[in-house]
Amino acid sequence: MDSATAREQALDAAEKLFYGRGVQSVGMDDLRGASGVSLKRLYQLFPAKEQLVEAYLERRDVRWRGLLAEAVARREDPRERILAVFDWLAEWFGEPDFRGCAWINAYGELGATSERVARQVRAHKRAFREYLGGLVADAGLPDALTGPLFLLAEGAMVTAGISGGAAPAAEAREAARLLLGRGRSSGRAGAG
Amino acid sequence: MDSATAREQALDAAEKLFYGRGVQSVGMDDLRGASGVSLKRLYQLFPAKEQLVEAYLERRDVRWRGLLAEAVARREDPRERILAVFDWLAEWFGEPDFRGCAWINAYGELGATSERVARQVRAHKRAFREYLGGLVADAGLPDALTGPLFLLAEGAMVTAGISGGAAPAAEAREAARLLLGRGRSSGRAGAG
DNA sequence: TAACGTAGAGAACGCACGTTCTCCCGTCAA
DNA sequence: TTGACGGGAGAACGTGCGTTCTCTACGTTA
């Protein structure tokens, strides 16, 4: 098995176990068992567990935002594209192994003790917010709408994670629709 | 030192340390040192660490909702009372040792492994949501507003926790004001 | 064949920590 | 005074786990 494959398998196992059970309750030995990659190899690829966590969050960030962008790209109308974010959240929340936002969870678990993890989380949330900001600008809506939309999405993620079920996504979508309606009249596109 | 005092001191230390550093990175020995309550006594009061965590969340829940209700009670107008929730969040976020929502953090850290903790978190969030629902009803507003307001508040908490700063509370307040519609509630009442 | 490098399996190590136990002291009843 | 008892300090115990080390097998090259 070459290095790239071993790395992917290690990250596959890390993602499955870290996301499902939390980081601290998963041992390096669990990762060896789930990935088929020996401990020796794991430590060659990632000098310490913390860096495996970092890599897990980073790879997931790329995929998560990629999937979101794909879903959004299927809509034409700029306003619809914003609402598509919440539709996509609803799909995500409905997945059988959904267990909340990986970054919010990781921050709650490790934010206070690992600066590297905290940085990953902040970077991910910043990227998501900027992506939303781009959708808002593309729709010619005031930039001030970005914050509220972002907060609705974050609230939906955290609530769906804690309470289970996809209902928060629908509530957030409806609220977003109302907010967009009010922001309609602005003629100053791309105000930022 | 009688039992009640020991219990309060133990919970004071637990709250300070668990909230500030996360649960798993605080040892029972740290709690002994910070509280002045011996290990023997700690284990008489709480048969296991998990139950100390539970008691910490429960006591904090009572105080947190009490402080919120106090702040809200200072306003007369029913719409203003809803907005007061977000003003109070802004105050909270601005406290120097603010480190996010204790329940969201605890859920991220222990939700997957401790059913007792998960229950505490769900109970707290349910109570907060029901409280908001009461404010919405008192204002004669449709119940469908409760969900969005709750999601805005949750999003503000999680974002303030991750990114630091009180700005999310103001954004959430503004979004809430738009959702409530153009009533008498225009600007900020009271201290700004 | 012999020497060598690589990789996997898993034992070993060191430490942290939840929980329990031991020892000792101060208090109070008789 | 004596003995029982409750409580504090902290050692001890058992376990889990991050990380490293050892042993063995195997393929490659001369």
Q: Would you list the domain boundaries of chain B? A: 1-47, 49-180
Q: Residue A181's pLDDT is what? A: 84
**Second CATH level (architecture) for the domain B49-180:** Orthogonal Bundle (1.10)
Cβ contact B128:B65 at 8 Å: yes
Greater confidence (B4 vs A84) lies with A84
Rounded to whole angstroms, the distance from the CA of residue A24 to the C1' of nucleotide C7 is: 28
- The pLDDT tens digits for A32-80 are 999 999 999 999 999 999 999 999 999 999 999 999 999 999 999 999 9
pLDDT bucket at A190, cuts 50 / 70 / 90: very low
On chain C, which bases lie within 7 A of the protein's CB atoms?
7-11, 16-22
Cβ of A112 near strand C (distance < 7 A): no
- Give yes or no on whether A1-47 and A49-182 have one common fold: no
Mean pLDDT estimate for chain B = 94
Which carries the bigger pLDDT value, residue A109 or residue B182? A109
**One-letter amino acid for residue B16 of the chain:** K
CB contact under 8 A, A109 and B112: no
| A10: Cβ contacts below 8 Å, ≥ 6 apart | A31, A35, A37, A41, A42, A45, A46, A52
Fold classification of A49-182 is Tetracycline Repressor; domain 2 (1.10.357)
Residue A90: band (very low, low, confident or very high) from pLDDT cuts 50, 70, 90: very high
The average confidence (pLDDT) of chain A is: 94
Where does the pLDDT of residue A187 fall: very low under 50, low under 70, confident under 90, or very high at 90 and above? very low
User: Hey, what CATH class is B1-47 in?
Assistant: mainly alpha
Question: Residue A188 pLDDT > 80, yes or no?
Answer: no
Distance separating alpha carbons of residues A161 and A89, to the nearest angstrom: 12
Model confidence at A182, in pLDDT bands (50, 70, 90)? low
